Each structure stands twice: as structure tokens, then as C-alpha cells.
Structure 1
């Protein structure tokens, strides 16, 4: 469906001239979803592909199992976390910020993408993530560094944080411990500019422009934290 959607959107997408006059309005307010594959999703996919060897056993995601099915192997159970019982596919009903609502040591791999930005009590959410993991289990998490505000989330439950590799490392290590957290950053000045303008991967002449990493322009931050 994603490939088909990008093909359809390309038929209606207006070409972008990087010589356009300065403008205060972005080309898209929708993170590039209406133009193709969003730039941050490109980075999320890259991060999960780099770590797909640990996406195995009982794998947990929030709301759906999209990434588990895309990148997982030898899956024993697809687990879905939802905060209430409105999601009929949910196997765990609970709140990451309320560890007492979560099962203990049930999950081998927890894929938690672009979620912590929208949770006020991030330390508690990390504690909840730690609790659900088995010993040796792995949290694969992504957070936003440079990004527009998500108006949809802001108007409903809140859009609270933008992270750096340093801030998220300190938060993760306070729960998982030093030596058990690996951090990788994605982004550069061109990618950040394109992302803030709402451009998609499809708008760029080549994806190699996204692959160069500049630590001072962190669009997406990937975290691999192991429970030991």
C-alpha cells in the first residue's frame, strides 16, 4: 500500500524548485505524507533495518504491528500495546507512564517509534518500557530531534519534547544503566531544511543526500537499549 500511495501522490505532486524565493509557509504541513515517504520515516526504516536481528521472539509495538511484520523474523507473538480497550487488536492494555498497568518481563523486543515526544513524563515511560522487557530484551526506540509541531497530537494529548542524543542518552541510562544504551543520529542541514518544509524523500534527486550524518542536525535519533 505504501508504494502504491507514493506512486499515486507522485502524479499530483508539484515539482519543487530550490531556487524559489524565501517563503514563510512550508510546502506541506503534513510532514511530507501527502507527497510520498516522509524523511523521518526513511530514517526510522534505516534504523530498524540496521537492528532487525533483534526483532524476534515476542515483539511489542504501540497500536499496530507494522514494523514487527516488516522487519521481524522468527516472531513467536505480535504484541500490541494500547492505553484503553478501544483497540480490538491490543494484547496489552496499559499506560507506559504507569508501570503498574504493564506486564513484567513479557517482551523480547519493544519497537517504540516517535512516541516519547508526545508523553510528558518521559522517565516513567522509559521505566514502563524497561518493565515489559525480559532479561536480555531490547528496546528499539526513535525520537524526534528537529521537527515541526504535530498539530494533531498537540491538540489532543500534547506534543512536549524535542531531544538531542545527549538528553535521550541520559534519560535512557538512568533506567537501563550505562553501557547498555546505544545511540545513532540521522540528519544533516539539507535533510532538516527539506523536512521542515514538508518535503518527502520522493522530492529529492537522490537518497544519498539524506544519508550523510551531521551531529548538529539531528532529525531522528535511534536508541537501542538492552535490559541486563
Structure 2
């Protein structure tokens, strides 16, 4: 297995010999088709996802659930009594289960105080049923911390396994989660601007543009939509 030091060296070499010419965008192939992971530690869209989950950290407590692994729970949750993992078709070990968000019979009812569900609804054809399943998992008073993609390339990895179906907007997210949780119980935050969108589509890493450039938000260029939904009953 390649060491972390060697991997960082390779990323640096890749950035050096495949540099970005911001004045020349006339090409049909992206600089990288790997979401920038071959050029840095974090993609542009993951930078925004991490920011949103961090902003919602005070809502992540008690018995919590995350999709596929515990990455964001481990990074941002400080008040957990238990952490669990749901996966579509793989057993991920202790405190994990195989479940389909579109089929309530595969889900435990009202078990979790918080559900961190990042970049999942894009890959579920019946995303409305998946939102209902997410509501079903939560205890009364629980929170859903979710993200979906706006402007983003197709993920061939996911498309070949379970499909890559949808891209959303802040407005559509507000309505579709509001239909299930009640519009007054849903907060939506959008991230992105034209530079961040170009960088993301070109496959650059977040380290190749500045934090101030990433921080600027233009609602006409939504890369990531963050949703905080509160289940009252």
C-alpha cells in the first residue's frame, strides 16, 4: 500500500506537471476526472459538505446514524452515545445494518436522534420515498443533516453500482424535504460560485483555490445544497 507521504508527493507532481491555466478553458477533457482526489486531499464539493456538517454539529448527538461509514460522525460529533452505519448492500460490522431508504420494512422505526446523510439522494431513483424513509428512522425531535449535489459531474463509480440519477437546487430541496418534514422544519443552505463550479468540473482539489474564493456564495451556481430537517412528531 502506498504511504501517505508518497501519495502527497504524487499529488504534488500531478499538480505541477498538469497545472491549471485559468485563461484557457477551451478544452473538452477535464484536467482530472477523479473529483480532484488525485491532486489534493479534498474535492471542492467535499469541502462544502464538511463545512455544512460542521455548522450542524450541535444537532448531532445521542444515537446517530451515517451512510456507508462514520466519517462525519467521527469528525464533527462530540456528544454521541452510539454511532451506527447504514449501507445499501454491505454489512459494515458493529452497529451497522443493510437497509434501503425507499423500503421502510428494512429500517428501524424511530431509533435515531440524528441521521447524517451526505450525497445519497442523488443516487436513489425514488428519492421522495428515501426522504420518507429518513424521516421514519428518526425519533421525534431528531434531526436529518443531509447534502445533495447541484452542479457536479456524473459519478461513474456510483452510476455503475446503483445509479446516478439527480441534481438538485436549493429551491427543490426546500420543497421536497418540506413535503415530508414540514416546510417550517427545514433549513436549506447552498454553497458555490462560478469559480468553484469551474474548479469542481475541471476536477481540481479544494486546495487549488483560496478559502475566500470558496467562501463566496452565488445562488446562481449551487454546487452543494445542505439540508437540516427537524422531525417534530
- TM-score, normalisation: structure 1: 0.94
Specify every segment of 5 or more residues in structure 1 that has no aligned partner in the other structure, as ranges. none
- Equivalent in the alignment of 1:35: 39
- Equivalent in the alignment of 1:9: 11
Structure 1 residues 148-157 or 216-225, which shifts more? 148-157
Alpha-carbon RMSD: 1.9
- Equivalent in the alignment of 1:216: 220
- The question of whether the paired residues in 2 share the 8 Å contact of 1:82 and 1:90 is answered with no
- Equivalent in the alignment of 1:108: 113
SS of corresponding position for 2:183: coil
- Equivalent in the alignment of 1:18: 22
- State how 1:84-163 maps to structure 2 within 5 Å: 84-89=89-94, 91-163=96-168
Is 1:54 the counterpart of 2:64 in the alignment? no
Specify every segment of 5 or more residues in structure 2 that has no aligned partner in the other structure, as ranges. none
Q: Following TM superposition, by how much is the alpha carbon of 1:189 offset from its aligned partner in structure 2, in angstroms?
A: 0.6
- TM-score, normalisation: structure 2: 0.92
Q: Following TM superposition, by how much is the alpha carbon of 1:87 offset from its aligned partner in structure 2, in angstroms?
A: 2.6
2:182 maps to which of 177, 195, 210: 177
SS of corresponding position for 2:84: strand
Deviation readout 1:175-224 (Å, 9 max, x if unpaired): 101200000000001110111111111222x2110110000100000000
Measure, in 2, the Cα distance between the counterparts of 1:7 and 1:56. 38
CA 1:108 to 1:5, structure 2 compared with 1: closer, same or farther past 3 Å? farther
Measure, in 1, the Cα distance between the counterparts of 2:150 and 2:183. 22
